[in-house]
Structure 1
Amino acid sequence: MKHFFAILGGMGTLATTNFLVELNRHFHPDSDQAYFDYLLVNHATIPDRTDYILDHSNPNPAEALLEDIKQITPLRPDFFVMPCNTAHYFFDELQQATDIPLVSMLTLVADELKRTLPAGAKVGLFATKGTVRSKLYADLVTKAGFEIVEPSEDLQQAITSLIYDDVKEHSQANLKLYEEILEEFKALSVATTILGCTEVSYVNSHDPIRQYPIIDAEKLLVKETIRLAHITQKK
């Protein structure tokens, strides 16, 4: 392949699969040959990102991600995408390891916040404990001129259960718990809630109503992937 993009996946596998499902849902070429060329690396054995962020004595996921990037870079993809919010903790280190652009979900979310919300609005964060602890989104939201609303300890426990027990362990989209969590954010007067975990994005993909205001980082990445692939694969 001369022009293609590379997906750093497997964090987890179901979330990566959902990224592909959403890619297919939003891009409908009229023939097999009109579809995008891409390379998927489903590196499922990458250590848990949250475990490392919470305790650096645990295995470092960056080592496996850097290995993937070093293996793929000689193939010369046009760009990398990484459908895992928590893995963006290592974004700068990964980008420094290659001259090929790595698309940032964080940048996409920041742009969407600025485009859709009034200055000073409250923004909820629906994400793993690792992403919350890392302050990836908190710093981004504050820098963009908004007020971050992070989950309480009890709410974070519910979020963790949805991500790890329902999606990662049982491949289930627990819509009841998902809506209860969003309802709690709504009660905190947020203007929108960032879905900052691709397992949560998986549940959102199964929500037929979508009655709560959200910014889904994965869906933004899907749209940006399509936009960039249209540009690069026309070369």
Structure 2
Amino acid sequence: MKKIGVIGGMGPEATLDFYGKIIQSTPAGCDQDHIPVAFEVCPQIPDRTKFIVGQGEDPVPLLIEASQNLINVGSSVLCMPCNTAHYFIDDLSKKLTVPFINMIDCVQQEILRKHPDARSIGLLATSGTIQSRVYHRVLEKNNMSILRVTEDFQNTLMDIIYAVKSGRQKEIVPTFQQCINTLENQGVDVIITGCTELPLLMPYISTMVPTIDPTLSLAESVVKFSLGWPEEG
């Protein structure tokens, strides 16, 4: 098995959720069947969205430091359970000796595998992820168009994400349901919960549209990598 290095803390509860999904995705009959994972949990990494919109500190130096720490303990590959942080993945890859498993690519592969006819993709994500177009660049190459909520709902969605980060999940579920309903009403084929805080709300949400959880997509991919299994599709 190959050791997986995880840059965590963006945010902490999303990191915990990611490890739970790694465990759930591993075909293990005993402790020794689980894959080796190293975590560098660094909540002090500056806010990714604030930097992308020109209002905050560059997170790259701490992302590189966290990556190097994971390499130093023997990680064969790195990953980040944070959608917005993938804006920086090219900069990181140029300065590191170990590759990343890209969460955005994992989502694309899951859509192509499970929903090959999907063309209209609803994206719920941070303003940083939207503005940086990390999903647009990947999905539009496969003839998919991305639909998002209105600017007012986008501001509300950011409030929802920060509420989850502060432990106030249940009180904002009705508002998040409205965001889901807005995309449903636009006739999307698939909805991506494209911020790692948002899947934490999905057990309380009702929708008839298939949803993609990027955290789970990434977890399944890192397990396959560690075990030496080929990716599907």
TM-score where L is the length of structure 1: 0.89
- Report the Cα distance in structure 2 between the residues aligned to 1:3 and 1:187, rounded to whole angstroms: 44
Q: How many residues align?
A: 227
Q: What one-letter code is carried by the residue in structure 1 that aligns with 2:47?
A: D
Displacement of 1:128 in angstroms is 0.4
Match of 2:174 in 1: 176
Displacement of 1:176 in angstroms is 2.6
Query: Which shifted more, 21-30 or 176-185?
Result: 21-30
Match of 2:131 in 1: 133
Change (3 A) 1:28 1:111: closer
Q: Secondary structure at the match of 1:113?
A: helix
Please, which runs of 5 or more residues in structure 2 have no aligned partner? none
8 Å Cα contact 1:7-1:41 kept in structure 2? yes
- Report the Cα distance in structure 1 between the residues aligned to 2:77 and 2:199, rounded to whole angstroms: 22
- Report the Cα distance in structure 2 between the residues aligned to 1:213 and 1:21, rounded to whole angstroms: 22
Q: Secondary structure at the match of 1:198?
A: coil
- Report the Cα distance in structure 2 between the residues aligned to 1:208 and 1:130, rounded to whole angstroms: 24
Displacement of 1:75 in angstroms is 2.9
Residue 216 in 1 paired to residue 202 in 2? no
Change (3 A) 1:155 1:35: same
Q: Deviations over 1:76-116 (max 9, x none)?
A: 31211110000000011111122212000111122223331
Query: Considering only aligned residues, what root-mean-square deviation do their CA atoms show, in Å?
Result: 2.0
Match of 1:149 in 2: 147
Q: What one-letter code is carried by the residue in structure 2 that aligns with 1:214?
A: T
Q: What one-letter code is carried by the residue in structure 1 that aligns with 2:20?
A: V
Match of 1:107 in 2: 105
- Counterpart mapping for 1:13-162 below 5 A: 13-55=12-54, 58-115=56-113, 116-118=115-117, 121-162=119-160
Change (3 A) 1:61 1:168: same
- Report the Cα distance in structure 2 between the residues aligned to 1:171 and 1:24, rounded to whole angstroms: 25
Please, which runs of 5 or more residues in structure 1 have no aligned partner? none
Residue 201 in 1 paired to residue 203 in 2? no
Displacement of 1:72 in angstroms is 2.5
- Report the Cα distance in structure 2 between the residues aligned to 1:180 and 1:207, rounded to whole angstroms: 12
- Report the Cα distance in structure 2 between the residues aligned to 1:210 and 1:30, rounded to whole angstroms: 34
Match of 2:226 in 1: 229
8 Å Cα contact 1:4-1:38 kept in structure 2? yes
8 Å Cα contact 2:5-2:77 kept in structure 1? yes
Displacement of 1:122 in angstroms is 1.1
Q: What one-letter code is carried by the residue in structure 1 that aligns with 2:62?
A: A
- Report the Cα distance in structure 1 between the residues aligned to 2:226 and 2:93, rounded to whole angstroms: 19
Q: Secondary structure at the match of 2:149?
A: coil
Change (3 A) 1:193 1:7: same
- Report the Cα distance in structure 1 between the residues aligned to 2:166 and 2:110, rounded to whole angstroms: 31
Displacement of 1:123 in angstroms is 0.9
